[in-house]
Amino acid sequence: MTKHIGHNLFGLFQSRFPKDTSDVFLEHARGELSYADLEILSGRYAAVLKSCGVNKGDRVVVQVKKSPEAVLLYLACLRAGAVYIPLNTAYTLTEVRYFVEDAKPRLIVCDPNSKEQFVKAFTDEIAITILTLAGDGTGSFINRALKLVPDHTIANNNADDVAAILYTSGTTGRSKGAMLTHGNLSSNALVLHDYWGWVPGDVLLHALPIFHVHGLFVALHCALLNASKVVFHNKFDTDQIIKALPHVTVMMGVPTFYTRLLETPDFDRHTCRNIRLFISGSAPLLAESFNAFENLTGHKILERYGMTEAGMITSNPYDGERIAGSVGFALPGVKARIADQNGNELPYGEVGVLEIAGPNVFAGYWQMPEKTAEEFRADGYFITGDMAEMDKNRRISIVGRAKDLVISGGYNVYPKEVESIIDEMPDVIESAVIGVPHPDFGEAVTAVIVTNDGAQIDTDTVQTFLGGKLARFKQPKQVFIVSELPRNTMGKVQKKVLREQYADTY
């Protein structure tokens, strides 16, 4: 087996492959992939990348349904030193166009039903090759791979070479591409693997999407470092998950996974008999869910906190006390402080903005040096935009957000993006988009709109207008028409007042 080369993340994984590479890597609906398959197929996929002219540092935009092949494509990009850019499958062409124009990829890999519109939309970009991953006859990425000799080389990357760009929206203006380096990803993965006590024989249940940090990096990387089997589900289907749980030892999920399990009569202590660890993150886990889960199963869910720009930042301890409502301690190697608006550290117990530094913190926003500079303090700390407090033991609790952000079922929705499109509707004077408590999604996107002469616009009309422009999960689940929005003396819309007013909507 090739020795771990340079700082390439794939090289790190490969150095941890099981001795017997016939061990299963992915168990999925259509069969199994072994670690030997991973090695050969990622080599074949890397050969396709090269045949498309993708060289080290070139961007590859990928918008495909979750599948084992999509995982292999990610791993092939790593080994080839290409920059992987995964996109949420819910994004519309309008949203994808922005990312493509910004990232200037060498290759786009998409699903068959998007290929025609992508070809039409991006024909001017003559340097871009567009391929489907599968399902497009002999022209697909997978079919090309079958015809090529595997390329087993691993690009000799430095720790600060970019491995992936993940787009995150912002409270103002355009989406920003967070550049994550091989060093960011490997340092975070190694820390998590150790901190969460992975042991030989652990089996991971994977039901998260693989276009975000949680499913793509946190879950897959820990399993790969552990040479573990991954029981791979294309989505979170509660019945299927309950059938799978007795055969795994670790599950990672967003809080919605846990609330859905709790609502299912078949789910009980016996279902979890082989589980070592349940982990939750991406959105706040309510104390009532934590407690109900412990009462039902005997398991204290381990809550951790992170963000796209920094991977995982804090975690409740594996061996120590896991406390509901707390996200635990800064991970080893991560420095955290609670600061006022000017970056001055606050005393323990006071609420401020969480600022962090460490090897996990990203290299900046793709081609946006000014935006990057705005998010960092002069001493290198990154401003998370999350409001938090730290107790004298340095345990951290997230208490709110300084940024105007809604998290629905673990997906981030930036109100500004939704408001600006609603405001283009005929008869709309202005709008405020808020997140209000929702039993399934944690928060639900909700719009409060002021119209000309009180014209009545219903939820369907707003959703229809937004269709094609905005992914479904960003669209308001409910719309309210009002005569005016509450404002403070400075004229700023008081979203807190609206959130209180509509708190019982769902």
Residues that bind ligand MCA (CB under 6 A): 208-209, 212-215, 235-236, 254, 256, 281-282, 306-308, 408-411, 441, 472-473
Q: Report the run of H or E that residue 146 belongs to, with start and end.
A: helix 141-147
The listed partner (ligand MCA, ligand AMP, none) that binds 13, CB under 5 to 8 Å by sort, is none
Q: From CA 458, how far away is CA 468, in angstroms rounded?
A: 18
Spatial CA neighbour of 411 closest among 211, 207, 238, 206: 211
Q: Closest CB to ligand MCA among 223 and 254? A: 254
Tokens of 498: 């609206």
The listed partner (ligand AMP, ligand MCA, none) that binds 215, CB under 5 to 8 Å by sort, is ligand MCA
Residue 368: partners with Cβ closer than 8 Å, 6 or more residues away: 176, 177
Task: Tell me the window of 40-48, 301-309, 451-459, 478-486 that interacts with ligand AMP (CB under 6 A).
Answer: 301-309
Q: Closest CB to ligand MCA among 473 and 506? A: 473
Least separation in angstroms between CB 217 and ligand AMP: 11
Task: Tell me the window of 13-21, 132-140, 245-253, 305-313 that interacts with ligand AMP (CB under 6 A).
Answer: 305-313
**Counting contacts by CB under 6 A, is residue 395 touching ligand AMP?**
no
Least separation in angstroms between CB 373 and ligand MCA: 22
The listed partner (ligand AMP, ligand MCA, none) that binds 284, CB under 5 to 8 Å by sort, is ligand AMP
Q: Closest CB to ligand AMP among 187 and 412? A: 412
What's the Rg (C-alpha) of the chain? 23
Q: Closest CB to ligand AMP among 250 and 485? A: 250
Q: Closest CB to ligand AMP among 49 and 185? A: 185
Site string for ligand AMP, 264-283 (x = CB under 6 A): -----------------xxx
Least separation in angstroms between CB 22 and ligand AMP: 36
3-state helix, strand, coil in the chain (%, to 5): 30, 25, 40
Q: Maximum distance among all alpha carbons in the chain?
A: 72
The listed partner (ligand AMP, ligand MCA, none) that binds 8, CB under 5 to 8 Å by sort, is none
Spatial CA neighbour of 406 closest among 384, 437, 375: 437
The listed partner (ligand MCA, ligand AMP, none) that binds 168, CB under 5 to 8 Å by sort, is ligand AMP
**Counting contacts by CB under 6 A, is residue 308 touching ligand AMP?**
yes
The listed partner (ligand MCA, ligand AMP, none) that binds 208, CB under 5 to 8 Å by sort, is ligand MCA
The listed partner (ligand AMP, ligand MCA, none) that binds 68, CB under 5 to 8 Å by sort, is none
Q: From CA 221, how far away is CA 77, in angstroms rounded?
A: 15
Q: Closest CB to ligand MCA among 281 and 415? A: 281
Least separation in angstroms between CB 315 and ligand AMP: 9
Site string for ligand AMP, 421-460 (x = CB under 6 A): ----------------------------------------
Three-state secondary-structure class, residue 131: strand
Query: DSSP readout, 310-361?
Result: TEEEEE--SSS---TT--BEEPTT-EEEEE-TTSPBPPTT--EEEEEESTTS
The listed partner (ligand MCA, ligand AMP, none) that binds 408, CB under 5 to 8 Å by sort, is ligand MCA
Q: From CA 53, how far away is CA 204, in angstroms rounded?
A: 35
Spatial CA neighbour of 121 closest among 92, 141, 144, 142: 92
Residue 99 near residue 87 (C-beta atoms within 8 A): yes
The listed partner (ligand MCA, ligand AMP, none) that binds 352, CB under 5 to 8 Å by sort, is none
Least separation in angstroms between CB 283 and ligand AMP: 5
Site string for ligand AMP, 318-337 (x = CB under 6 A): ---------x----------
Q: Closest CB to ligand MCA among 130 and 189? A: 189
3-state secondary structure 176-232: EEEEEEHHHHHHHHHHHHHHCCCCCCCEEEECCCCCCHHHHHHHHHHHHHCCCEEEE
* Residue selected from 181, 384, 408, 446 as contacting ligand AMP according to rule CB under 6 A: 384
Query: DSSP readout, 464-500?
Result: HHHTTTS-GGGS-SEEEEES---B-TTS-B-HHHHHH
Report which residue type is found at 95. E
Of all residues in the shown chain, the one whose CB is closest to ligand MCA is: 409
Q: What are phi and psi of 169, to 5 degrees?
A: -75, 175
Least separation in angstroms between CB 254 and ligand MCA: 4
Residue 180 near residue 362 (C-beta atoms within 8 A): yes
CA distances from 440 to 196, 243, 436 (A): 27, 21, 12
Residue 144: partners with Cβ closer than 8 Å, 6 or more residues away: 48, 51, 131, 138
The listed partner (ligand AMP, ligand MCA, none) that binds 386, CB under 5 to 8 Å by sort, is ligand AMP
**Counting contacts by CB under 6 A, is residue 306 touching ligand AMP?**
yes
The listed partner (ligand MCA, ligand AMP, none) that binds 259, CB under 5 to 8 Å by sort, is none
Spatial CA neighbour of 476 closest among 440, 435, 439: 435
Binding residues for ligand AMP (CB under 6 A) = 168, 213, 281-284, 303, 305-308, 327, 384, 386, 398, 401, 407, 412
